[in-house]
A and B are shown apart, each in its own frame.
Chain A
């Protein structure tokens, strides 16, 4: 069974850092692009960042460029999101997501909650 399990969320003060992890299982992790998508409380979905299967190509939404870094360890089947200089507006549930061969996101994790507050 294909599974994505996020961890690392929590409460952090403005300006702080967190690292999210996403453990993948049930598929050949290195063969697929992965994304992080977030959802602020009561709001819609926002794509945050994506990384190619090899990890070479990375992409970000403008609002997180220079603050967030996406990476992956294909030997551990794990995706990461390093989040620095966190702001209140980064408060959201963060979903780890797998892209299918079509390019669309075909598998989602259950999400990890990040709260940025003093």
Chain B
């Protein structure tokens, strides 16, 4: 069973700054099956990135994903006001299709 650990738990940044979120897996993620989701309060999650680095439809290019094996990164190049939210990574290459515990990006 793969366990995903996200860091930091909370990231305090100002609009316009760069955000770097980490997702570390306890073992290698099969087939690059790693996704990132954004969730705002009271809303369902939204897919941002799939296959480690492919942006989902309609996702702006300030969001990018990278990594391989056990270490993955979500980068938001310049934070917009609507980007302050909780972000989750998920591996979907093996069962259980676990999520990380989330990183909250808050306004500094």
Contact = CB atoms under 8 A, between A and B. Distances in A.
Interface residues of A, number: 23
B83 to A, nearest CB: 19
B47 interface: yes
Contacts of A108: 44-46
Interface stretch (A8-16, A42-50, A75-83): A42-50
Dominant SS among interface residues on chain A: strand
A99 B45 CA distance: 13
A45 B44 contact: no
Contacts of B46: 108
Nearest to B51: A102
Nearest to A110: B44
B99 A105 contact: no
Contact of B96 (A47, A95, A102, A104): A47
A45 B96 CA distance: 13
A45 B45 contact: yes
B99 A45 contact: yes
B104 to A, nearest CB: 10
Query: Across chains A and B, which 7 residue pairs bring their CB atoms closest together, nearest first?
Result: A104-B50, A108-B44, A104-B35, A45-B99, A47-B97, A44-B102, A102-B50
Interface of B: 33, 35, 37, 39, 44-47, 50-51, 54, 56, 86, 88, 90, 92-93, 95-102
Interface of A: 35, 37, 44-47, 50, 59-62, 95, 99-100, 102-106, 108-111
